[in-house]
Amino acid sequence: MSLLSVRDLHIHIGDNHLVRGVDLAVERGECLALVGESGSGKSLTALSLMQLLPSHARLEHGEWLFDGQDMRSLDEKAWRKVRARRIAMVFQNPMTALNPTMTIGQQIAEVICLHTSMSRREARQRAIDLLERLGIVNAPRRAKQYPFELSGGMLQRAVIAMAVACGPSMLIADEPTTALDVTVQAEVLALLQELCRDEGLGLLLITHDLGVVEAMAKHLAVMYAGRIVESGECARVLSQPAHPYTRALQAAMPSLGEARESLQGIAGTPPDLSRQIPGCAFAPRCPQAMNICVRELPQTRLIETGQCTECWLWEKPE
């Protein structure tokens, strides 16, 4: 059984139907990358998996299982426990996750004390061990420093240390390295990979960067206008992309080390999600669009090369 499995996830905010029937599965010890342009619904999907959407957002699920548990039935008290111990999240800007008035060591120790039975002293030692484990040189001294005294790369490591301090089984990382320079980026990614491998963590990695995807992910899901348009084993999807949007992304996306905040190069703009889209949402931008594409949504098909895709080009006429 997958660590996380979500079926038919919908998210509405106001009149906008922003996530329109997403299926996702994250396996233990593996990385699933979720890619797509800004506004495709990736971050919303991620936040919904932590029950962290704004309160006016409306959520519907066909199924939502985490570690065998039905997550739809949890109340906020239960969610606080889940967020502390079982699913952790790392954001793009580490500063948002840190308290500027406390040392790094204090902050990590506080998380540990709050959620385990460790004493303050044990927790402080564990914080230092974690920082060391995450490649911070001279960890005992660093633990006594404040966030402003550390580099971006060190801060992101500290945030990851905080995220894994209570031994979660899943990590959600939303553009975790976009704010870092190239060398540090590679180091932080290697670290996440190591955590997956050694601790059996399931990792949901959201990124704009196909180079990162290639280096990290076993599986890949490509999101467009609130739907997964193609998914499958990363190597297959990237070597033989089946959906025209995946191909457009590949042409437009930077390779490792050249991550940009937003993508350039796909002609046209994503659709207005306050209107109903009866057919394929990519049709107005798709070089291969046919009449039927605008009228009717294609079914998700498992194709010969092993990936699933949602495109009329793959619907075999009888």
Sites of contact with ligand SF4 (CB under 6 A): 243-244, 280, 282-283, 286, 288-290, 293, 298, 311-313
- Closest CB to ligand SF4 among residues 4, 286: 286
How far apart are CB 192 and ligand SF4 at their closest, in Å? 32
Q: What whole-number distance in Å separates Cα of residue 225 and Cα of residue 41?
A: 7
- Closest CB to ligand SF4 among residues 158, 293: 293
Radius of gyration of the chain (CA): 20
Q: Which does 43 bind (CB under 5 to 8 A by kind): Mg ion, ligand SF4, none?
A: Mg ion
How far apart are CB 173 and Mg ion at their closest, in Å? 12
- Residues at the contact surface with Mg ion, assessed by CB under 5 A: 43
Q: Which does 282 bind (CB under 5 to 8 A by kind): ligand SF4, Mg ion, none?
A: ligand SF4
How far apart are CB 315 and ligand SF4 at their closest, in Å? 8
What DSSP element (H or E) covers 57?
A: strand 57-60
Q: Which does 286 bind (CB under 5 to 8 A by kind): Mg ion, ligand SF4, none?
A: ligand SF4
- Closest CB to Mg ion among residues 153, 176: 176
How far apart are CB 291 and ligand SF4 at their closest, in Å? 9
CA neighbor of 20 nearest in space, from 221, 207, 204, 225: 225
- Closest CB to ligand SF4 among residues 100, 287: 287
How far apart are CB 229 and ligand SF4 at their closest, in Å? 7
Cβ-proximal residues to 88 (8 Å cutoff; 6+ apart), any chain: 163, 164, 166, 168, 170, 171, 172
How far apart are CB 196 and Mg ion at their closest, in Å? 21
How far is residue 33 from each of residues 140, 211, 253, measured CA to CA in Å? Answer: 34, 11, 14
One-letter identity of residue 182? V
Q: Which does 280 bind (CB under 5 to 8 A by kind): Mg ion, ligand SF4, none?
A: ligand SF4
Do 248 and 266 contact (CB within 8 A), yes or no? yes
Q: What whole-number distance in Å separates Cα of residue 259 and Cα of residue 73?
A: 38
Exposed/middle/buried for residue 136 (C-beta within 10 Å: 0-12, 13-18, 19+): buried
CA neighbor of 84 nearest in space, from 167, 192, 155, 28: 167
Q: Which does 244 bind (CB under 5 to 8 A by kind): Mg ion, ligand SF4, none?
A: ligand SF4
